[in-house]
Amino acid sequence: MNTRRILLLVAGIVILTLAFSSIFVLEETHQAIVTQFGKPVGKTRTEPGLHYKIPIIQKVQFFDKRYLEWDGDANQVPTKDKKFIFVDTYARWQITNPLQFFIRLRDERSGQSRLDDILDGETRNAVASHDLLDIVRSSNRDPEISDEVMEDLENLDKISVGRARIEALILKRANERTSDLGVQILDFRFKRMNYVDEVRDRVYDRMKSERNRIADQFRSEGQGEASKIQGNKERDLAKIQSEATREAEVIQGRADAQATSIYASAYNKNAQARELYSFLRSMEALENSVDTKTSVIISSDSELYKYLKKSN
């Protein structure tokens, strides 16, 4: 009796195990295919929820529905005009046909490895087929610079392709090569581009030399302008001083003439006025000539002696 119960219990456990192993849950972010002895059977399962398979002999392979990231390694690539640069790229891809993807690549790791070969190869081919200017620029827009600083950029070379078209070309050619792999490359971009170390050092030196040349040009123009301003200042100052001196002499002459005219008019009015004029002139001359410590010897026929004698 106990043996029978044990057998029934074991049978129940086996049945439950088989029942649970025949059910699998498919999440919204995944898609799946069922394989039997390593070969896919049935259609791709894309609807989320519960799905069924034959236990033990069938297995489930899950694949991501979402956009997947591909990040390339930075590689040294020569351009058409023989410029060696490091190119770092990235892309976004998606598994669009899980059945075909499983047959050709088996899993996502193999898919990433296959994309490495395809995208790196197409990147090398595209970079080697175009000049550096086409790779780093996207349009022929005019640079925002002043004419005095960078006159040589007026003759900046025009691009015929541009970075955006090269990226689109790589994307197109890569998708042509992945059409039978069950994947689609959604986007491709250059993440970073730079010169190799030797070339970059020479470029930096040339940039420094150019900036020093521009600085010397500004410095020279500034010194010339300063000398011009200083010369104009000295010229204007001399002109102002000359005009001021001339104007002062004119005013002084007019004042002297007016004073002389007043003295002459007063002298000619009458004898008393003339005598007063002579007295004032004599006193003015005496005041300007002597002080309290001065001794004066006056002759008896001088006008001053005559005025002093009259005052006694």
The CA distance from 92 to 183, in Å, is: 11
Range from 1-15, 34-48, 208-222 carrying the lowest mean pLDDT: 1-15
**Which contacts qualify for 22-27: CB closer than 8 Å, 24 or more apart?**
22/52, 22/53, 22/54, 22/55, 23/50, 23/51, 23/52, 24/50, 24/51, 24/52, 24/53, 24/60, 25/49, 25/50, 25/51, 26/50, 26/51, 26/62
31, 46 Cβ separation under 8 angstroms: yes
Q: What is the mean pLDDT of residues 245-251?
A: 87
Please indicate, yes or no, whether residues 175 and 264 belong to a single structural domain of this protein. Answer: no
Query: Is 219 a member of any domain?
Result: yes
Please indicate, yes or no, whether residues 189 and 91 belong to a single structural domain of this protein. Answer: yes
Segment (H or E) for 50 = strand 49-52
Query: Is 86 a member of any domain?
Result: yes
125, 177 Cβ separation under 8 angstroms: no
- The pLDDT, as a whole number, for residue 5 is 73
- The pLDDT, as a whole number, for residue 139 is 77
- The pLDDT, as a whole number, for residue 133 is 85
Here the tokens at position 95 are 């598994």
Here the tokens at position 246 are 């001339």
Pairing verdict, β 68-71 and 39-45: unpaired
- The pLDDT, as a whole number, for residue 257 is 81
Q: Where are the beta strands (DSSP E) in 145-295?
A: 183-195
Please indicate, yes or no, whether residues 78 and 191 belong to a single structural domain of this protein. Answer: yes
Here the tokens at position 100 are 């075909």
Please indicate, yes or no, whether residues 33 and 17 belong to a single structural domain of this protein. Answer: yes
Three-state secondary structure along 251-269?
HHHHHHHHHHHHHHHHHHH
The CA distance from 152 to 158, in Å, is: 14
The CA distance from 151 to 154, in Å, is: 6
pLDDT at 178 over 50: yes
Q: What is the mean pLDDT of residues 246-258?
A: 85
Please indicate, yes or no, whether residues 98 and 191 belong to a single structural domain of this protein. Answer: yes
Among residues 40, 64, 88, the one where a domain terminates is 64
Higher pLDDT, 202 or 30: 30
Higher pLDDT, 309 or 209: 209
The length of the chain in residues reads 312
- The pLDDT, as a whole number, for residue 254 is 85
Q: What is the mean pLDDT of residues 92-106?
A: 92
Query: Is 205 a member of any domain?
Result: no
Local structure of 3: helix, strand or coil? helix
Please indicate, yes or no, whether residues 89 and 177 belong to a single structural domain of this protein. Answer: yes
Please indicate, yes or no, whether residues 73 and 132 belong to a single structural domain of this protein. Answer: yes
The CA distance from 183 to 200, in Å, is: 38
User: For the chain, first and last CA: distance in Å?
Assistant: 180
- The pLDDT, as a whole number, for residue 274 is 64
| Chain segment 195-226, per-residue pLDDT in tens | 877 767 776 777 788 888 888 888 888 888 88
Structurally, how many domains does the chain consist of?
A: 4
Segment (H or E) for 102 = helix 98-104
| Chain segment 273-298, per-residue pLDDT in tens | 666 667 777 777 767 776 667 776 77
Burial of 195 (0-12, 13-18, 19+ CB in 10 A): middle
- The pLDDT, as a whole number, for residue 18 is 66
| Chain segment 58-67, per-residue pLDDT in tens | 899 999 999 9
Q: What is the mean pLDDT of residues 71-88?
A: 88
Average pLDDT over the chain, rounded to an integer: 82
Please indicate, yes or no, whether residues 220 and 191 belong to a single structural domain of this protein. Answer: no
| Chain segment 103-159, per-residue pLDDT in tens | 999 889 999 999 999 999 999 999 999 988 888 887 776 656 555 445 554 456 777
- The pLDDT, as a whole number, for residue 143 is 59
Task: Tell me the residue range of the domain where 307 lies.
Answer: 271-312
- The pLDDT, as a whole number, for residue 149 is 47
Pairing verdict, β 84-95 and 75-78: antiparallel
Higher pLDDT, 96 or 147: 96
